[in-house]
Amino acid sequence: MTDSLRQAALDYHALPTPGKLSVELTTPAQTQEDLSLAYSPGVAEPVREIAKDPEAAYLYTGKGNLVAVISNGSAILGLGNLGPLASKPVMEGKSLLFKRFADINSVDIEVECPSPERFIETVAAIANTFGGINLEDIKAPECFHIEEALIQRCSVPVFHDDQHGTAIVTVAGMLNALEIQGKTLEDARIVCLGAGAAATACCKLLLAAGAKKDQITMLDSRGVIHSGRSDINAYKGEWARDTEMRTLDDAIEGADVFLGVSGPDLLSAEQLAHMADKPVVFACSNPNPEISPELAHKTRDDLIMATGRSDYPNQVNNVLCFPFIFRGALDVRATRINEDMKLAAIEAIRKLAREEVPDAVRAGYGGVEMTFGAEYILPKPTDPRLLPKVAAAVARAAVDSGAARLPYPAHYPLKPV
């Protein structure tokens, strides 16, 4: 990062007021009567109603449009375990995105917990305050256990965005890229470099979307995850293959798809050259991808490439899904965000990339051409159609799958924020 960009980032978070969030009133608080209704004695009436029926909290409080963004700071962006307090700018940023893109109120919570069990107990104890829980920047493999336990213990949806948000956008873009390349997910040979939270979630969702498990080769820092290894945990063990492949050189030979969720510059030009015709490369390590787009396109003129960066085409960006998934889930009072809802979000996102892009969106990106093809496989985050389309798809899937406690909303489709 240049000195000027670094200073701009610091100024953005510090000025004109430190942080990126504030609290606003939604009811009058000017007169004595207003105050008597807002607090004592008037507040006693909704208290009594909620005591009789907990569901009344959705009627008399902001619970139904409130999401907690919670982290222990153990895996902050690409910076590692810097602790809960250091994660606060990221969690505030996530809350900003919830409000900006889906008009969802959000509170960031940074938890000092020495163990996964303490973290689980803490979050479970406060979960009922919120309409949903967004877990963020929690390292693997603890994040898997934490999310699983909280899903079981909480009556509101719990969603680890580093896993599932990444997976949803990745699979949406990959399905479109493979179609453009004349390939199918069912037949594709996939190499996944990385075995953490995002990698595992991506591969699981690829299976749900139609990929074959025996066509997926996952690698960690020690090489191919194979059945002969004794140094892998249970989560990695799910991806162990009975294979003679040991290295990325072995795995990449003839592969149709490379999915990188690992680190910078780990895929060489020589390795890329050994992939199948018309390969799909998702090099999603941030800020520096597994192979630079310049080198990749210089090496292969037949590939489709995506990264996690906004300064290249085909950015894999979680903001394409998580605000809208929560919007749909909240509006039908879903108890969880299940696989059907994730697949519905994938389909809505990938279909939107095929539609004509509004002039306002194009103008926001310098007027560049955006037509479904090799350099436009995913919608832009500023596309106002994401909210109505993705939220509606998620809400419908929640209702149809039995995860919803309310019917499909009569006021859908939504208008853009």
Given 39, 60, 298, 365, which residue is catalytic?
39
376 classed as catalytic: no
Q: 88, 94, 204, 380: which is the annotated catalytic residue?
A: 94
Nearest Cα neighbor of 376 from 143, 232, 180 is 180
The whole-angstrom separation of Cα 197 and Cα 354 is: 29
> How many whole angstroms separate alpha carbon 159 and alpha carbon 148?
10
11: left (phi over 0), alpha (psi -120 to 50) or beta: alpha
Reading the block at residue 323, the tokens are 């605000």
Residue 140's alpha-carbon distances to 75, 76, 157, in angstroms, are 8, 12, 20
Q: What is the DSSP letter of 29?
A: -
358: helix, coil or strand? coil
Coil, strand, or helix at residue 304?
strand
**Which residue in 269, 271, 284, 65 sits closest to 174, CA to CA?**
284
Q: How many Cβ atoms are within 10 Å of 98's Cβ, its own excluded?
A: 25
Cα-to-chain-centroid distance, residue 102: 14
Handedness of CA 321, 326, 332, 336 (dihedral sign): positive
Q: Is position 39 annotated as part of the catalytic site?
A: yes
DSSP string, 141-197: THHHHHHHHHHHH-SS-EEEHHHHHHHHHHHHHHHHHHHHTT--TTT--EEEE--SH
HSE-up (13 A, CA, CB side) for residue 327: 30
Neighbouring C-alpha atoms within 13 Å toward the C-beta of 248? 22
The rounded distance, in Å, linking the Cα atoms of 72 and 123 is 11
Active-site residues: which are they?
Answer: 39, 94
